[in-house]
Amino acid sequence: MKIKIADLEFEPLINEDLIIERTKAIGQQLNADYLQSIPVFVGVLNGSFLFIADLIKQINIPCEIAFTKLASYYGGTTSKLKIRDDIDLMVDIKGRDVLIIEDIVDTGNTLHYLIDKLKQREPASIKVCSLLLKPEALQSPIEELKYVGFEIKNEFVVGYGLDYQEMGRNLRDIYKKVE
Ligand code: XMP
Ligand code: MG
């Protein structure tokens, strides 16, 4: 069923059941991959808040959870080169295994910015888990991107934490913009 948010129309792309199923599989992979350490999961607000919550519930190894807040869209539907750094990470990550949790990787600018910033703090490792990836939009490869929920086309999406003009974050499914 199509929905309207502000001036745009959206149609269903990925439903809640599929998101949960994929999240469980990624969680199991993380439980195995981080068995030997106590990782720090770094959630990137706002868009990933539901994914962080659902993913973290699948984790059964000791871990810490921290947050940072970045913005690159400022309410529109295209990614901006300039990144706004709203809230910095409050934990010391020196010598720690860090896993960044993102909602979506588009051009990759946000992640490159965050990875460069966190690397200066000398963590033992940095990897990234993103629910969504737009491979056609990615401007340069991100070596640290090890876990991806779904690859999608270069289209604007909302729901399950993702917004258009700050609305639509509450939707249980992911929707794409009707062209
Ligand atoms: P970049 O281009 O830096 O963008 O990889 C990543 C950030 O931009 C936001 N983003 C989106 N938000 N629908 C959204 O609601 C989208 O289709 C979309 N694509 C990118 C998001 O905040 C992400 O962290
Ligand atoms: Mg985001």
- Looking at every residue in the chain, the average pLDDT score rounds to 95
Rounded to the nearest angstrom, the distance between the alpha carbon of 108 and the centre of ligand 1 is 9
- Tell me the percentage of the chain whose pLDDT exceeds 90: 88
Catalytic residue among 97, 106, 116, 173: 106
Mean pLDDT within 92-108 = 97
What are the beta bridge partners of residue 67? 43
Q: Is the CB of 108 under 6 A from ligand 1?
A: yes
pLDDT in tens, 111-132: 999 999 999 999 999 999 999 9
Confidence of residue 150 (pLDDT cuts 50, 70, 90): very high
Residue 156 amino acid letter? F
User: Any catalytic annotation for residue 106?
Assistant: yes
Q: Residue whose CA is closest, atom 13 of ligand 1?
A: 157
Sole residue written with tokens 């703090």: 121
Of 43-57, 72-86, 108-122, 140-154, the poorest mean pLDDT is in 72-86
Q: Starting at the edge strand that comes first in sequence, how are the strands of the sheet with 174-177 ordered?
A: 3-5, 8-14, 174-177, 157-158
Q: Is the CB of 68 under 6 A from ligand 1?
A: no
pLDDT in tens, 6-36: 999 999 999 999 999 999 999 999 999 999 9
Say whether pLDDT at 86 is over 90: no
* Cα–Cα distance for residue pair 125/156, rounded to 1 Å: 31
Ligand nearest to the CA of 73: 1
Ligand nearest to the CA of 152: 1
Residue 87 has a pLDDT of 87
Q: Residue whose CA is closest, atom 21 of ligand 1?
A: 104
Q: Where are the beta strands (DSSP E) in the chain?
A: 3-5, 8-14, 40-45, 64-71, 84-87, 97-105, 125-133, 145-151, 157-158, 174-177
Mean pLDDT within 72-97 = 82
* Cα–Cα distance for residue pair 103/45, rounded to 1 Å: 9
Say whether pLDDT at 80 is over 70: no
Say whether pLDDT at 79 is over 70: no
Residue 74 has a pLDDT of 60
- Tell me the percentage of the chain whose pLDDT exceeds 70: 96
Under 8 Å between Cβ of 40 and 97: yes
Q: Which stretches of the chain are DSSP H helices?
A: 16-33, 49-56, 109-119
Ordered structural domains, the chain, with CATH? 15-28+39-72+98-155 (3.40.50.2020)
State whether residue 30 is helix, strand or coil.
Answer: helix
Sole residue written with tokens 């910033």: 117
pLDDT in tens, 28-72: 999 999 999 999 999 999 999 999 999 999 999 999 999 999 987
Residue 84 has a pLDDT of 86
Q: Is the CB of 107 under 6 A from ligand 1?
A: yes
Q: Which long-range contacts does 150-154 make (Cβ < 8 Å, 24+ apart)?
A: 150/14, 150/22, 152/13, 152/14, 152/176
Under 8 Å between Cβ of 174 and 14: yes
pTM: 0.95
